[in-house]
């Protein structure tokens, strides 16, 4: 009460407006999780809780913010996109994450997927090839206090040897084949999800599991991601 009396009427109005806007985003987020994620069969309670918590609208460019919780990917600049919420949920669930896991993401983009991962595990490493996107993601993740995410500008094709092996690897751009260094950097019993396919074609989201040195592969669903750009990828002949 004492504190409220210190607020001038205009400050109080601004405060009420902020609260109203924030509760609007929360409602949109709850609806997105219920209608796009749970309704389509995602069941991992940790994935659902993480997606209910991460403020997706803060990872979307201001002029598109009104569409943040829509059932589609959105442009984030430089010809890149933030993935559709359902795709984020499916990929995250497929990683069968445990709290102590160390996760590598290739394709930081907006930083949203990294934040969802960071809600669920100890440590997230994420690599983005475009410096401007890496810098923007790093700054919003810091603002939101995600101290368990390390962002690096670089070519994800080679992974991040320094912190390998990883319990899980998520690739959010599409390579024509799975880069060998990523398979090497996957821990034993580790899981990797990666959309594999040629640019401009429908790709297949693949789940790979390393079991006693052997790689098991299962196709999950068709998908369309931006291509993985790397000088190391041998062009199609």
Angle at which helices 45-53 and 85-94 cross, to 10°: 140
Asked if 84 is part of the footprint of ligand SAH (rule: CB under 6 A), the reply reads no
Give the DSSP H/E element, type plus range, for residue 170: strand 166-171
DSSP 114-162: HHHHHTTSSEEEEEESSHHHHHHHHHHHHHTT-TTEEEEES-GGG--GG
Give the nearest distance from C-beta 98 to ligand SAH in angstroms: 21
Asked if 160 is part of the footprint of ligand SAH (rule: CB under 6 A), the reply reads no
Sole binder of ligand SAH in the list 68, 92, 172, 185 (CB under 6 A): 172
Sole binder of ligand SAH in the list 36, 83, 123, 203 (CB under 6 A): 83
For residues 187 and 122, is the Cβ–Cβ distance under 8 A? no
68 or 83: CB nearest ligand SAH: 83
Cis status, amide bond into 165, omega within 30 of 0: yes
Sole binder of ligand SAH in the list 156, 159, 190, 195 (CB under 6 A): 156
Q: Which of residues 10-69 bind ligand SAH (CB under 6 A)?
A: none
- Annotation marks residue 23 as catalytic: no
Strand 123-128 vs strand 186-196: parallel, antiparallel, or unpaired? unpaired
Q: Which stretch binds ligand SAH (CB under 6 A): 2-10, 96-104, 124-132, 182-190?
A: 124-132
Q: Which residues of this chain interact with ligand SAH, rule CB under 6 A?
A: 80-83, 106-107, 109-110, 112-113, 127-130, 133, 155-157, 172-173, 226, 228-230
């Amino acid at each position: 009460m004492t504190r409220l009396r210190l607020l001038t009427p205009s400050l109080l109005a601004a405060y009420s407006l902020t609260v109203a806007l924030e509760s609007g985003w929360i409602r949109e987020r709850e609806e997105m999780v219920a209608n796009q994620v749970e309704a389509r069969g995602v069941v991992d309670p940790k994935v659902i809780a993480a997606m209910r918590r991460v403020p997706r609208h803060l990872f979307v460019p201001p002029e598109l913010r009104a569409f943040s919780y829509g059932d589609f990917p959105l442009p984030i600049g430089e010809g890149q996109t933030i993935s559709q919420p359902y795709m984020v949920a499916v990929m995250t669930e497929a990683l069968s994450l445990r709290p102590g896991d160390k996760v590598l993401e290739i394709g930081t983009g907006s930083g949203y997927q990294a934040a969802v991962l960071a809600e669920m595990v100890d440590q997230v490493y994420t690599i983005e090839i475009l410096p401007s996107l890496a810098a923007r993601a790093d700054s919003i993740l810091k603002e939101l206090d995600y101290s368990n995410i390390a962002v690096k500008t670089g070519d994800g094709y080679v992974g991040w040897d320094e912190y390998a092996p990883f319990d899980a690897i998520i690739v959010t751009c599409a390579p024509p084949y799975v880069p060998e260094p990523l398979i090497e950097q996957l821990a034993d019993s580790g899981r990797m999800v990666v959309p594999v396919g040629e640019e401009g074609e429908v790709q297949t989201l693949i789940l790979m599991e390393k079991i006693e040195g052997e790689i098991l592969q299962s196709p999950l669903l068709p998908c369309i991601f931006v291509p993985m750009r790397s000088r190391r990828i041998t062009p199609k002949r």
